[in-house]
Every structure is written in C-alpha cells, then in structure tokens.
Amino acid sequence: MQQDWNIKSRAEACEATQRPFVEGEYFFTSLFLDGEGFRRIDLCEDAWNARRSDPSSEPLFSSWRSKFEPPAPPPPEALQRNDAEGMLRTLMESNDPAHTNTRYLLAVMLERKRILRPQPSPDKSTLLYEHGSTGETFIIEDPGLSLSDLVAVQEEVSAMLNGLTATSVPAEENATTVETGAGAA
C-alpha cells in the first residue's frame, strides 16, 4: 500500500461550523481514505455528534478525540536540527520508498519519547500518530520488520542522525539496506 504520506496539521477551527477551537476544548479528528489519499477533518463535539447520528455520513478510516491546545510559537533556530523528528519530517517529505523502514523506526523512537502519540488505525499495515504538541498527523507504513532486520535499519538511522542527511545517503546504499531487510523477513 504505497500512498503519499503527508503530514496533516490540526485545524484551528471546526470544519463544519467554522467556529475556532478554544484552549482546553475537546474536539474530534476524523481521517478519510479516498482516491487522492488521506483527508483529515477536525470537528467540535456538537458537529461530531451530528455527523455520527447522520446515517448518510461518509465512512471513516479512523477517528480520535483530543484536547485543543494552541501551538506555541516555535523558537527561532540558528541551525537546522538533525534529530529524529527532523529526519522523519525530511524522509516523509521525500516519500522515497527506500526509506520506509527508516521512517517506521524513527516514528517508533518518537513514540517511545512520547513526542508522537499512537492513534487507532483499522489497517494493520498503517500506523497513525498525532504529534503531542503540534497536533499534526503522521501516517507511517508498517514494513513488518523482523528482529533480524532491525540491525541494518538502526545502522542507517544512526548514520543519518550522525551528520548525514536523508538526501546525502547514496541511493544504492539505501536500496541494499532495504533489500537485505526485506529478504530476511
């Protein structure tokens, strides 16, 4: 299942009523899968309840409830950080299939650090995460790695985080790593 895995940002207002969310208010996020990929909408509680009671509503891929917290303005950075979150964002923008294993491992690392929060996904080949502070949705393909695959992927991630960027790793080297991981499964 190869899709465009774009990061969808949390809305500042209800999709149905256009009323801005207020700090501390609970709202509902819904993901829909259509011909163009994933589409996210955020609804206030009243709009969510109205949608649920409407039998003609579009079927959901996934949904969850969150508390609205306006994002803090990001502090200015003198240098671009090359950390796990930055690397994941870079790899998601490139959407290169050779980095599927790396994106998965970075997402799991960020989940363990409680930066990304897992969300329900009915599709076992797709992991859904919400960024704890920004509310962005990360859609990650689960490559089904085995324990024997992890060493090669960990080495790739370590090399990237130790100064190499996602675009500076030679494509042949990545292809070898991915093929080795896929062949061992």
Please identify, among 39, 67, 95, the residue that sits at the C-terminal boundary of a domain.
67
Q: Whole domain around residue 172: which residue ranges?
A: 84-184
DSSP state of 45: H
Asked if residue 9 is part of any domain, the answer here is no
Highest mean pLDDT out of 34-43, 106-115, 149-158: 106-115
Lowest mean pLDDT among 3-7, 141-145, 148-152: 3-7
Asked if residue 104 is part of any domain, the answer here is yes
Asked if residue 132 is part of any domain, the answer here is yes
Q: Is 159 exposed, middle or buried (0-12, 13-18, 19+ CB in 10 A)?
A: middle
Asked if residue 13 is part of any domain, the answer here is no
Total domains in the fold of the chain: 2
How remote is the C-alpha of 96 from its chain's centroid?
15
Asked if residue 20 is part of any domain, the answer here is no
Task: Mark whether 147 and 177 lie in a shared domain.
Answer: yes
Tokens of 61: 């891929």
Task: Mark whether 95 and 128 lie in a shared domain.
Answer: yes
pLDDT above 80 for 112: yes
Region label for 18, one of left (φ > 0), alpha (ψ between -120 and 50) or beta (otherwise): left
Task: Mark whether 118 and 39 lie in a shared domain.
Answer: no
The mean per-residue pLDDT over the stretch 131-135 comes to 88
Task: Mark whether 94 and 59 lie in a shared domain.
Answer: no
Task: Mark whether 113 and 41 lie in a shared domain.
Answer: no
Span 29-68, pLDDT tens digits:
998 888 778 889 999 999 999 998 988 888 888 899 999 9
pLDDT at site 79:
39
pLDDT above 60 for 155: yes
Asked if residue 10 is part of any domain, the answer here is no
Span 75-97, pLDDT tens digits:
665 434 558 888 888 888 888 88
CB 59 within 8 A of CB 134: no
Return the bridge partners of 93, or none: none
Say which residue, 171 or 113, is predicted with more confidence: 113
pLDDT above 50 for 179: no
pLDDT at site 116:
93
The mean per-residue pLDDT over the stretch 129-145 comes to 89
pLDDT above 60 for 2: no
Task: Mark whether 155 and 119 lie in a shared domain.
Answer: yes
Beta carbons within 8 Å of 3's beta carbon, 6+ residues apart: 37, 38, 139, 141
Task: Mark whether 91 and 180 lie in a shared domain.
Answer: yes
